[in-house]
Amino acid sequence: MNAPAAGTPETLAVRTRTVAPASAPTFGSRLGAAFAMFRNGKSLTGLAIIGFFVLIALFADVLAPYPPTKVDNARRFEPPSADHWLGTTHIGEDVLSQVIHGTRGVIVVGFLAAAIATVIAIAVGVIAGYLRGWKSESLSALTNVFLVIPGLPLIIIVASMFEEPPLWVIAAVLGITGWAWGARVLRAQTMSLRNRDFIQAARANGEPLRRIVTVEMLPNLMALIAASFVGTVTAAILGLTTLSYIGVIPVTTYNWGTILNWASAQGAFRQNQWWWYLPPGLCIALIGVALSLVNFGIDEYVNPRLRSAGERARALRKKGIDVNDAVTAVRSIPARTTTPDDELAQNPSR
Amino acid sequence: MTAIAPIPTGETHDDALVVGTTATRAVKGHARVPWRFLGSRALFYLFTLWAALTINFFLPRMMKGDAVDQYLARNRNVSPEAAEALRALLGLDTDKTLWQQYLDYWGLLLRGDLGVSLLHGLRPVTEVIAQALPWTIGLVGFATIVSFAIGTIGGAVIGWRRGSRLDALVPITTFLGTIPYFWLGLLAIAVFSVNLEWFPIGKAYGVGSKPELSLEFIGEVIHHGTLPALTIIIASLGGWMLGMRNMMLTVLDEDYITVAQAKGMPNRRVLWGYAARNAVLPQIQSFALSIGFIVGGTIVMEMVFSYPGVGKLLLDATNAKDYALMQGVFLILTISVLVANIIADIAYAFLDPRTRQTEA
């Protein structure tokens, strides 16, 4: 501790001491601050699972033991064995290889669709939130129209316009129909930010609109943007696999939904060929869990009450107080076993 | 005591001790009709309806392939003249301008004429849809309302008993919600219909029976509908529960909850009358907005369980390029979403006085 200069009260020294030479923010620390919403156990677990699937998608060719469509008529409907870890299909294809190759389509479409949707959501949401008057209202009305029009029927109809839609077309359709929710949330948050002091100050300084939006507003919207991105990835993955299962998307590119389409069409569900229909479904569920873990983490970052409420209630219960009990419990304090500080910490309202 | 003397308000001035500090009913004034609010909502719904109907008009015109070609491929003994007549009947003769077609489309719509369905032997589309709609509304409407009620009430209780073991329900139901619905349905069929044989496989009623109003038939419908309804409830419960619980945690921190408890109100009243009543508002809004997703889920459910509703109609129509039926189903789906939104709006205005007060 620095020795206080003679004559200054000690409290002053304590108060002023904390002015450490602030090191210039490095790129790393800035990056860390921008992604602070991911720095908690739940989000990290989810991100790790997603990273695992991304790696599988990248190295599918190396990891898969067989080509996904290699027909082997001698070994049809085989349960898992040493040769085929997840068994074979009705024409002897290796299920494990199909699942591994199927990861690629799911990851690509999921993230591409979410990227498209997020860009539209940011553009529409932030502009609608920042502007006032009829421009804002009409953008908001557009958002609501996209929210209200039933999405899946529209996607089915649009996707059937293409004979062989490539992956990016599917991603684009899913993205264009899936941005509205994010835009709505971002608009609400931008409207509340618009009147905060620092935005007013930036405007009074005469900063251009572009700078106000990108430098002042976007960093404060990052958590919401991340949450809507994650939500759209989930929706896009569910959408893609559902469309593939329905058979709207042709079966040329393998993804988990396509495998389930084949399994269902060949009666795997009625003949208990679990090795065929369980793995792809579990993969979709696992990636869905990972994405919702990330979102739980972001939610708790945005609204700390979600976590602290439970912790506080548990701490109270440990002391024998029900959090919902309106009557303040009067307890006899054991003589001088607690220091006044402890007591203060327990009853801060005193 | 207050420094400013209370202004005597005439008849409504009651003794504070008689009224009590726990008065929860606001003094009933004249019920204002919030015209501005109603007007802006009506305008929004009209605009959405117009947008949806216009999309509906353009969809088949953007699609490749021709309904009549598909029809001819299925029925080989149709002469070319008959094919031409069919085209004229379906409004597919393209010598009219797009604008003229658009006007005709509106004219037909306003007369309630949705054309004829090629897939169902040239029967009117309205008739085909009218046959399928009750099944969808009955099953999906019931399952959705049950799921919303269980999820919201459950979420309120979980939020109230924060920090208890009930917290574990939230991740569990969320996990069930991330499972793709069609897979859940297929699994349910594999387990409960194929292996355990508790429920029949798909369809709304048995093969031999005809729709009639008898106890036997109703029992059959319930038996067939249990599995689809249960899977819908299981899949959608998580979202309602999570939303309500998160909102409860926020509301329970508000001062008016503390005040209500300090006044010595029974916990039940604080939970349902104060906390849950305020926390449910965003739920109702998201209910309105999620109806579109619910309708999408219907299609998948009806495909998995081969249930004879409108979702299955849409899929079949899309595969067969039966445009009139496709347009009709999309129209019906959009209108039902809008109607559900209007109902949710009215419920919201009833529950949240602030919406009504924007006028004042």
Q: What pLDDT, on a 0 to 100 scale, did the predictor assign at position B300? A: 85
Angle at alpha carbon of residue B14, lines to B12 and B15, rounded to 5°: 170
Contact A149 B341 (CB under 8 A): no
Q: What pLDDT, on a 0 to 100 scale, did the predictor assign at position B208? A: 67
The answer to whether A183 and A125 are in contact (CB under 8 A) is: yes
Q: What pLDDT, on a 0 to 100 scale, did the predictor assign at position B69? A: 67
Contact A246 B190 (CB under 8 A): no
Best of A50, A106, A134, A156 to substitute, by most chain B Cβ atoms within 10 angstroms, is A156
Decide if pLDDT at A300 tops 60: yes
Q: What pLDDT, on a 0 to 100 scale, did the predictor assign at position A8? A: 46
Does residue B88 or residue B297 have the better pLDDT? B297
Q: What pLDDT, on a 0 to 100 scale, did the predictor assign at position B322? A: 78
Max Cα distance, chain B (Å): 96
In the predicted model, what is the mean pLDDT of chain B? 77
B134 token code pair:
């009750």
Contact A147 B292 (CB under 8 A): yes
Contact B330 A157 (CB under 8 A): yes
B355 band by pLDDT with thresholds 50, 70 and 90: low
A349 token code pair:
């309202």
Average the pLDDT over A282-303 and give the result: 87
Question: Chain B closest CA to A285's CA: distance in Å?
Answer: 5
Tally the residues of chain B: 360
DSSP 8-state symbol, A88: B
Q: What pLDDT, on a 0 to 100 scale, did the predictor assign at position A10? A: 47
The answer to whether B253 and A305 are in contact (CB under 8 A) is: yes
Does residue A90 or residue A34 have the better pLDDT? A90
Pick A242's closest partner by Cβ from B195, B295, B300. Answer: B300
Question: Chain B closest CA to A20's CA: distance in Å?
Answer: 36
Neighbours of B73 (CB within 10 A): 9
Q: What pLDDT, on a 0 to 100 scale, did the predictor assign at position A4? A: 44
Pick B59's closest partner by Cβ from A157, A296, A326. Answer: A157
* Residues of chain B found within 8 Å of residue A234, distances taken between Cβ atoms: 178
Q: What pLDDT, on a 0 to 100 scale, did the predictor assign at position B62? A: 67
Task: Tell me how far apart the alpha carbons of residues B185 and B176 are, in angstroms, rounded to a whole number.
Answer: 12
Q: What pLDDT, on a 0 to 100 scale, did the predictor assign at position A113? A: 93
Average the pLDDT over A84-89 and give the result: 76
* Residues of chain A found within 8 Å of residue B246, distances taken between Cβ atoms: 299, 303, 306
Q: Residue B56 corresponds to which amino acid?
A: N
B360 band by pLDDT with thresholds 50, 70 and 90: very low
Does residue B58 or residue A16 have the better pLDDT? B58
Three-state SS across chain B?
CCCCCCCCCHHHCCCHHHHCCCCCCCCCCCCCCCHHHHHHHHHHHHHHHHHHHHHHHHHHHHCCCCHHHHHHHHCCCCCHHHHHHHHHHHCCCCCCCHHHHHHHHHHHHHCCCCCEECCCCCEEHHHHHHHHHHHHHHHHHHHHHHHHHHHHHHHHHHHHCCCCHHHHHHHHHHHHHHCCHHHHHHHHHHHHHHHCCCCCCCCCCCCCCCCCCCHHHHHHHHHHHHHHHHHHHHHHHHHHHHHHHHHHHHHCCCHHHHHHHHCCCCHHHHHHHHHHHHHHHHHHHHHHHHHHHHHHHHHHHHHHCCCCCHHHHHHHHHHHCCHHHHHHHHHHHHHHHHHHHHHHHHHHHHHCHHHHHCCC
Task: Tell me how far apart the alpha carbons of residues A38 and A227 are, in angstroms, rounded to a whole number.
Answer: 10
Task: Tell me how far apart the alpha carbons of residues A148 and B288 are, in angstroms, rounded to a whole number.
Answer: 8
Task: Tell me how far apart the alpha carbons of residues A264 and A200 are, in angstroms, rounded to a whole number.
Answer: 59
Angle at alpha carbon of residue B301, lines to B300 and B305, rounded to 5°: 120
Pick B186's closest partner by Cβ from A163, A277, A323. Answer: A277
Does residue B119 or residue B1 have the better pLDDT? B119
Average the pLDDT over B58-66 and give the result: 67
Window from A196-205, A281-290, A309-318 with minimum mean pLDDT: A309-318
3-state secondary structure of B275: helix
List, for residues B90-109, the tens digit of each pLDDT value.
666 666 677 887 888 888 88
pTM: 0.77
Decide if pLDDT at A20 tops 50: no
List, for residues B30-43, the tens digit of each pLDDT value.
556 667 777 877 88
A120 band by pLDDT with thresholds 50, 70 and 90: very high
